């Protein structure tokens, strides 16, 4: 295994709270996971190799990695990680985030997805579909660097859209009636279950963070993500993507 090039500092990020047996680990633990043998139809890749490939692609794109968090579950067979990404612009209340996943038990392909993390509460949300998802087939090792590089380029555009989106949320005022309606509609589009409605309502009515006191779409969005972060991170991408769709429609924002 090649040594990581100038590894960024790693800390336990509060938004990497996994259930179902997952736990946060150091990079050394990730590198120590044994990769299963290749078969005629299946070529698993080491979790650490995916991380290294993404790090190199980010560096080549002029992006700098901030803090990282890594997690393993199912006796190391499944990996999920987060990287804070620093680009040319600096935002005061949130940062760009890259999510990584890989499996050795054929559960899901290797992939990356873009998102944002809010500083004040460490809420995490993903935006858009998984931009790179590669099955563990014969030529994955050969194709991985090229596919990853292309995906990072696409994600840079996605993050620019995310900046516009968050600005629109902050400018869109909401009253209680509209907020309550959106909370109910969120259950219809798969953002959350009925069980989470009281939690989201509580975060909207009495935000635990002063930054979300304004009655706007950004505050409601974070009421959702504050409640969702107690669930499985594996489910978070599709839930927050659905949440973005609901909120985008509410504020009249059309993003590709």
Is the pTM higher than 0.95? The answer reads no
Q: Are 241 and 99 in contact (CB under 8 A)?
A: no
Would you state the pLDDT for residue 225? 93
Considering the domain architecture, whether residues 30 and 143 belong to the same structural domain is answered as yes
Query: What's the gap between Cα 130 and its chain centre?
Result: 10
Would you state the pLDDT for residue 113? 83
Classified as helix, coil or strand, 119 is coil
Considering the domain architecture, whether residues 157 and 178 belong to the same structural domain is answered as no
Would you state the pLDDT for residue 185? 97
Considering 136, 161, 186, which residue would you say is the last residue of a domain? 161
Considering the domain architecture, whether residues 30 and 137 belong to the same structural domain is answered as yes
CB count, 10 Å around CB of 86? Answer: 15
Q: Is residue 93 part of a domain?
A: yes
Query: What's the gap between Cα 98 and its chain centre?
Result: 6
Which residues in the chain come in under a pLDDT of 70? Answer: 1-23, 88-90, 121-122, 128-132, 233-234, 254-256
Would you state the pLDDT for residue 130? 57
Considering the domain architecture, whether residues 222 and 241 belong to the same structural domain is answered as yes
Considering the domain architecture, whether residues 116 and 243 belong to the same structural domain is answered as no
Considering the domain architecture, whether residues 152 and 245 belong to the same structural domain is answered as no
Q: Is residue 6 part of a domain?
A: no
Question: Distance (Å, rounded) from C-alpha 148 to C-alpha 58?
Answer: 9
Considering the domain architecture, whether residues 180 and 232 belong to the same structural domain is answered as yes
Q: Is residue 52 part of a domain?
A: yes
Query: What's the gap between Cα 75 and its chain centre?
Result: 22
Considering the domain architecture, whether residues 29 and 145 belong to the same structural domain is answered as yes
Would you state the pLDDT for residue 174? 97
Q: Is residue 10 part of a domain?
A: no
Q: Are 165 and 253 in contact (CB under 8 A)?
A: yes
Considering the domain architecture, whether residues 142 and 237 belong to the same structural domain is answered as no
Q: Is residue 100 part of a domain?
A: yes
Considering the domain architecture, whether residues 141 and 189 belong to the same structural domain is answered as no
Would you state the pLDDT for residue 170? 96
Question: Distance (Å, rounded) from C-alpha 237 to C-alpha 235?
Answer: 6
Considering 114, 130, 161, which residue would you say is the last residue of a domain? 161
Q: Is residue 9 part of a domain?
A: no
Q: Is residue 7 part of a domain?
A: no
Considering the domain architecture, whether residues 90 and 64 belong to the same structural domain is answered as yes
Would you state the pLDDT for residue 22? 54
Classified as helix, coil or strand, 117 is strand
How many domains in the chain? 2
Range of the domain at 221: 171-251
Considering 134, 161, 188, which residue would you say is the last residue of a domain? 161
Would you state the pLDDT for residue 10? 38
Q: Which helix (H) or strand (E) holds 86?
A: strand 78-86
Q: Is residue 224 part of a domain?
A: yes
Would you state the pLDDT for residue 194? 94
Using the 8-state DSSP alphabet, how is residue 44 labeled?
-
Considering the domain architecture, whether residues 32 and 141 belong to the same structural domain is answered as yes
Q: Radius of gyration (Cα) for the chain, nearest Å?
A: 19
């Amino acid at each position: 295994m090649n040594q990581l090039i100038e590894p960024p500092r790693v800390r336990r990020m509060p938004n990497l709270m996994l259930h179902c047996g997952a736990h946060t680990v150091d990079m050394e633990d990730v590198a120590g996971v044994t990769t299963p043998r290749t078969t005629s139809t299946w070529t698993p890749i080491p979790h650490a190799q995916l991380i290294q490939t993404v790090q190199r692609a980010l560096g080549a794109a002029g992006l700098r990695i901030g803090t990282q968090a890594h997690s393993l579950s199912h006796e190391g067979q499944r990996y999920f990680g987060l990287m804070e990404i620093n680009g040319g612009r600096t935002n005061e209340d949130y940062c760009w985030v890259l999510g990584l996943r890989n499996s050795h038990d054929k559960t899901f392909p290797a992939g990356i997805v873009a998102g944002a993390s809010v500083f004040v509460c460490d809420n995490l949300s993903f935006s858009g579909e998984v931009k790179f998802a590669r099955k563990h087939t014969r030529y994955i090792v050969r194709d991985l660097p090229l596919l990853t590089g292309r995906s990072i380029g696409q994600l840079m555009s996605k993050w620019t859209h995310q900046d516009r989106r968050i600005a629109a949320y902050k400018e869109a005022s909401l009253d209680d009636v509209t907020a309550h309606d959106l909370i109910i509609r969120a259950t219809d589009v798969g953002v959350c279950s009925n069980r989470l409605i009281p939690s989201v309502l509580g975060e909207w009515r009495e935000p635990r963070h002063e930054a979300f006191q304004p009655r706007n779409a950004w505050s409601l969005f974070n009421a959702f993500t504050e409640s969702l972060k107690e669930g499985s991170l594996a489910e978070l991408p599709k839930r927050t993507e659905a949440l973005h769709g609901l909120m985008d429609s509410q504020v009249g924002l059309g993003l590709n």
